[in-house]
Amino acid sequence: MQFHIMIKYLFVVLLPLTLLGQRQSFDKDLFDSYALYKEESLFNRRFKHDQIRILIDSLETEKGIDISKLGHSIQGRSISMISMGSGETQILLWSQMHGDESTATAAIFDIVNYLKSNKSILEKIRVHFIPMLNPDGAELFTRRNAIGIDINRDALNLQSPESKILKRVRDSLNPDFGFNLHDQSKFYNAKNANKPATISFLAPAFNANKDINETRGNAMRVIVKMNTVLQRYIRGQVARYNDEFEPRAFGDNIQKWGTSTILIESGGQYEDPEKLEIRKLNFVSILSAFESIGSESYKSATLDQYLSIPMNDRKFLDLKIENLTFSYLGQEFKVDLGIKHKEIENTDHTEFYFLGKVVDIGDLSNYYGYTNLDAEGFDFKIGKTHPKILSDFEQFKELDFKSLLSQGYSEVSIENLPPEIKFTPFPMNIIDVKNIRIPKNNTIPQSPLRLEENPSLILEKEGEVIYAVINGFVYHVKKGENLIKNAVVK
């Protein structure tokens, strides 16, 4: 082989591999250095507009950052946009159009912190962030805006000022790419996978036929690049959202209006109730998307790669108990039990506690749990209420909870319980004596397992308590392993 031909061959073959290695190094560097850029003032999901406003105001004097005051929400809260970069390719990101979907909002400020000190990525792109489109909803940590409109279903009627702002910005910028940032339920999984769908993507359809034009195809290709990155950190935990056309939705219409639109849904992750790990994954994947757009490396992705991402499914539970045997009216049954936890907020919508409920009973063989417990071979009993009534909460705190659980007790009654106490960090439920009602004298006893009930279950083996399930959390009594986030007041 002639020397110049060999050099050309090596260039053609090895350059793509070199660039691939550089891109892998890029996302790894992002992942490893994330702590340097994390916005520490945002440490949970229930932050408010004032916290975001302070962060945006602090950027006004930063060189290379432009702050645009876009308008106000229905209740008069400001909506602003942060713009950075000098490139020709325009990228628009909007978050928290649903007020209780805040994971990506926090990630935006992590990304801004990164871009402030790593400006080379901005040479070929200009990015625009609307961190909080629905500040009124964020104040109450609720999906809709102050008059009850779902902003993401107001792309055509434009009855909300927040909707008008997003439409006006989209039309004025005419961005090449748009990132529609949301949160989804933690109970989604990638179809047929026993892991949660931590991140789900969608390149929304722009018509009822779900056609793929260049605009939508480019969105799909960017998603492929983001999925490739995420598989290195959460293998098997990325899914693809249903692309049924929704004519009222912003994502579908912005795709229709010519902006390649990428929907990102932040779902669930193990032991991550505040979604801080998922926030980090947003940081890594979105910045990796910026890199692929700036370098145009996304163009090498194929539509088949996008279509190979598994579909979203909703088969996850907080706790799945398998093979639970119980007796009722003289018959014996073996079932699986599905339990989910609901977040119960305080009046300020700043903190929450968990309330567990039985959501399904029967054959749950195609469901998965964040926690799984096999009850095969165990004797099942409903937890007992301790016969002694305590006078106050201080007495309750002094109890030997492991000893009580080992005796099959799951609840303790308290006579003078302050009304503000709704839950307890200790592994035992409380019965507020004031709430005790005399049960009706039914001729047919209730089943020991009931839907929508708060579960208190005891699993024994040879007369010894091995597991206690309190408020849908597991306590391994024999080992002393306490996985109970909180118990509740009944």
Q: For 299, which DSSP code?
A: G
Reduced to 3 states (helix: H, G, I; strand: E, B; else coil), residue 149 is coil
CA dihedral 129, 66, 146, 54 (to 10 degrees): 100
* pTM of the full structure: 0.93
CB neighbours (10 Å) of residue 341? 22
Query: In b/e form, how buried is each residue of 38-69, taking b as 16+ CB within 10 angstroms?
Result: bbeebeebbbbbebbbebbeebeeeeebebee
Residue 281: name the closest of 271, 268, 299 by CA: 268
Residue 485 has, within 13 A of its CA and on its CB side, a CA count of 17
Check if the beta carbon of residue 170 is closer than 8 Å to that of residue 259: yes
| pLDDT per residue rounded down to tens, the chain (490 residues) | 454 544 444 444 444 444 455 567 999 999 999 999 999 999 999 999 999 999 999 999 999 999 999 999 999 999 999 999 999 999 999 999 999 999 999 999 999 999 999 999 999 999 999 999 999 999 999 999 999 999 999 999 999 999 999 999 999 999 999 999 999 999 999 999 999 999 999 999 999 999 999 999 999 999 999 999 999 999 999 999 999 999 999 999 999 999 999 999 999 999 999 999 999 999 999 999 999 999 999 999 999 999 999 999 999 999 999 999 999 999 999 999 999 999 999 999 999 999 999 999 999 999 999 999 999 999 999 999 999 999 999 999 999 999 999 999 999 999 999 999 999 999 999 999 988 766 666 678 889 999 999 999 999 999 999 999 999 999 999 999 999 999 999 9
**What pLDDT, on a 0 to 100 scale, did the predictor assign at position 14?**
44
The Cα-based distances of 82 to 51, 70, 117, 227, 404 in angstroms read 15, 10, 16, 26, 56
> Given this model, what pLDDT does residue 18 score?
46
What is the pLDDT at residue 435?
81
Sign of CA dihedral 271, 273, 278, 280: negative
- pLDDT at 434 (0 to 100): 87
The rounded distance, in Å, linking the Cα atoms of 235 and 189 is: 12
**Can you tell me which residue has the tokens 């997003």?**
166
CB 184 within 8 A of CB 228: no
**Which candidate, 167, 191, 186, places its Cα nearest to that of 178?**
167
Q: What is the pLDDT, as a whole number, of residue 446?
A: 86
**pLDDT computed for residue 9 by the predictor:** 43
Give all domains of the chain, ordered by start, each with its CATH number: 26-309 (3.40.630.10), 316-488 (no CATH)
The half-sphere exposure of 410 on its side-chain side, counting CA atoms within 13 A, is 25
Cα–Cα distance for residue pair 155/166, rounded to 1 Å: 9
Closest CA to 486 of 421, 392, 395, 398: 421
Positive or negative, the Cα torsion across 165, 114, 297, 202? negative
> What angle do the packed helices 276-295 and 103-117 form, to 10 degrees?
50
pLDDT of residue 442: 65
